[in-house]
Amino acid sequence: MAADLLVQGVTRRFGEQLAVDRVDLAVGQGEFLGLLGPSGCGKTTLLRMIAGFLVPDSGRIICAGQDITTLPPFARNLGVVFQNYALFPHMTAAENVGYGLKVRGMARAEIVTRVKAALDRVNLAHAADRLPGQLSGGMQQRVALARAMVIEPRILLLDEPLSALDKNLREEMQVELRLLQQRVGITTVFVTHDQEEAMTLSDRIAVMQAGRVMQLGTPEEVYRRPISRFVATFLGTTNLLEGKAARVAGNTVTVALEGGAMVEASAPVPPTPGSPVQLAVRPESILLRSTPEGVPGTVEDVLFQGHRLIALFRTDSGQELRSYMPPSGWRPARGDRAWASWPAAEAGLIQA
């Protein structure tokens, strides 16, 4: 996949505050890249530099082979939806969507056709003549999305474009957005702090923390193979177990857990034998059984959630584990003795 957008060593400070810190990214042609991270980690700042509203202190931004680091926004062929989706308040929805085409000098009849199609795509044909002040927050977001896409930009930059929508509409729009993006084949950078949204939509996810990209990979890679405690916990619930690397064979490590149980785990970077390690295992990978296989302990509580049970388990050595179990099959009860096990491939070593 040819890189359509390259971000190389980009850094930006605001006074003492290091907002974006030496970020490298290569976004492939037609790829949907999710930028995921907690509030304040630098997502918007990075997007604004790609869009041209902020100049990096250092580093370069390259689009389709051209260095655009200092090019003004209008000279970049980018469609942008801002976090606050700033629509022109005195223009109707249709005029907002058509604005970018008008300034590009497109013929009126063509603009009308394109604007209609763009509003249709976001289910807003009926609201074409309303002003932003007469639209709900979610409708305004959809107008902003239509406005960004109608110019058929080379790259689409979206900063939390669905955050004002309620849950159902949001899920509907996620599917719509993904289909639209696939159909048009447009390279997209999508900012969100919602991990499920990032996983649903993205081809790859860049997980950011304090201005840095901590991990970059497919949703499955970052979810199943988080490299750090931060990434593991940010992307959902995880169990962290303490132990020591007993044996190291390539990327497979035998870990002696606290309490003595030996388990296998995968490690992207093999640790030194004998060193303390931390193991991450997702709750859905942990199986509790009433037969002595795995790590022994006691069931502390079982919560029924309809589609699953959450079992809270404490190993004999005192580590807390959480297991998601199907409601069918053996059902543990509070106070039961049980044994926890998981497939070796689902346990990964992480950096603390």
Ligand X SMILES: Nc1ncnc2c1ncn2[C@@H]1O[C@H](COP(=O)(O)OP(=O)(O)OP(=O)(O)O)[C@@H](O)[C@H]1O
174 touches Mg ion by CB under 5 A: no
Restricting to residues 53-112, which ones interact with Mg ion according to CB under 5 A? Answer: 83
CB-CB contact of 122 with 142 (8 Å): yes
The residue range among 13-21, 106-114, 262-270, 301-309 that interacts with ligand X, by the rule CB under 6 A, is: 13-21
CB of residue 10 to ligand X, shortest distance in Å: 12
205 touches ligand X by CB under 6 A: no
CA–CA separation, 102 and 115 (whole Å):
11
Q: Which of 19, 25, 32, 44 binds Mg ion (CB under 5 A)?
A: 44
Report DSSP state, residue 103. Answer: H
Q: From the list Mg ion, ligand X, none, which binds 45 (C-beta under 5 to 8 Å, kind-based)?
A: ligand X
Q: Which of 17, 66, 113, 136 binds ligand X (CB under 6 A)?
A: 17
| CB nearer to ligand X: pick between 39 and 328 | 39
Give just the sign of the alpha carbon dihedral 235, 240, 244, 248. Answer: negative
CA–CA distance from 118 to each of 45, 98, 102, 189 (Å)? Answer: 28, 9, 15, 20
Give just the sign of the alpha carbon dihedral 40, 42, 48, 52. Answer: positive
Per-residue contact track with ligand X, 34 to 73, x per CB under 6 A? ---x-xxxxxxx----------------------------
CB of residue 174 to ligand X, shortest distance in Å: 18
| CB nearer to Mg ion: pick between 44 and 238 | 44
Q: From the list ligand X, Mg ion, none, which binds 41 (C-beta under 5 to 8 Å, kind-based)?
A: ligand X
CA–CA separation, 52 and 68 (whole Å):
8
> Which residue's Cβ has the minimum distance to Mg ion?
44
Locate all alpha helices (DSSP H) within the chain, ordered by sequence: 43-51, 93-103, 108-121, 137-150, 167-184, 195-201, 219-224, 229-234
**Cβ of 336: how many Cβ atoms within 10 Å?**
17
Positions touching ligand X (CB under 6 A) are 14, 17, 19, 37, 39-45, 83, 193
